[in-house]
Amino acid sequence: MPREIGANQKVTGGLVNTEFEFSDRDFQRVRRIINEVAGISLADGKRELVYSRLSRRLRQRGLRRFEDYCDLLETQDDTAELGEFVNALTTNLTAFFREPHHFEFLARELLPALIRERGFGTRRIRVWSAGCSTGEEPYSIAMVLRETLPATGWDVRILATDLDSNVLATAGQGVYELSRVKDLPEARLRRWFQKGRGAQAGRVRVAPALRELITFRRLNLMDEWPMRGAFDIVFCRNVVIYFDKPTQRVLFERFADQLVEQGHLFVGHSESLFKVTERFVPLGKTIYQRCI
């Protein structure tokens, strides 16, 4: 049975709400602003998500209308609020060793090949986790690096970046609920995690041997990238699905420029470089190698 609209409720742009005015024009403004700021292309079906997530920001700022909030974003030099706006609209779904075939390829093929190639030369490996969310991806990469590379003699660093400052704070702490690591093998749990006690009971913390490999930084992929050196490996998974095709083309060109010759790019299971760029060749299972 359809729910009735109460006396104090309004139907605003197809949404039933009791609190904020949210018109079609407001939704289109939100779509344009997030695209300009972060390159994210919001679909028509994201109206309810936008209302739900941004309502909290309107309450925080004491506003009654989305029009006023959009004016705030566009007319004031308020970088902190723009950051909160982006944080609210970005989705952070991640897990340790998500899409495990990528880590199997890293451990069984890519890293052994780099060991053979660089065993008598520059023993240096640089990895970028672009869109690292709460840190599970870069910590998973770090585990594979520690488990596969020789214990000494290698200069290894992981750069982990994300647009969302809140998830980066979690990633930097490296503290997780036990439920987040329940599917890891017992040997990995013992080696790479420290169990919390007292007030931290029910949580684990990533071991220092992994944390020391990783530098966490906030980075908007649409902005200028401050990195000067080239990367051997880039993980950018389940990120470009939020971008339109022109933005994807630009981004993959930039990734190619940032990779060493024949460097590797890992993307998400629902992402593809087909007809987007010719600078990579597919190796299968959403793994690509720079060719130009």
Q: What is the CATH number of domain 10-89?
A: 1.10.155.10
Q: What is the pLDDT of residue 178?
A: 95
Domain range list for the chain: 10-89, 100-290
3-state secondary structure of 260: strand
**Segment among 16-25, 30-39, 50-59, 210-219 with least mean pLDDT:** 16-25
Residue 137 half-sphere exposure, CB side, CA atoms within 13 Å? Answer: 31
Mean pLDDT of 115-127: 90
CB atoms within 10 A of CB 227: 13
**For position 126, what pLDDT does the model report?**
98
220-264 residue pLDDT tens: 999 999 998 999 999 999 898 888 899 999 999 999 999 999 999
Q: Which phi and psi (to 5°) does residue 73 adopt?
A: -65, -35
Residue 90's pLDDT is what?
A: 80
Q: What is the pLDDT of residue 12?
A: 45
Residue 119 reports pLDDT greater than 50: yes
Q: Which residues participate in catalysis according to the annotation?
A: 53, 162
Q: How far apart are CA 93 and CA 212, in angstroms?
A: 24
Summarize the confidence of residues 175-181 as an average pLDDT.
95
What is the average per-residue pLDDT within 152-172?
95
Topology annotation, domain 100-290: Rossmann fold (3.40.50)
| CA–CA distance, 267 with 241 (Å, rounded to integer) | 10
In angstroms, rounded to a whole number, what is the distance separating the alpha carbons of residues 63 and 68? 7
| CA distance linking residue 145 with residue 25, whole number of Å | 49
What is the arithmetic mean of pLDDT over 20-36?
94
- Number of helices (H), then strands (E), in the chain: 11, 12
Q: In this prediction, what percent of the chain has a pLDDT beyond 70? A: 93
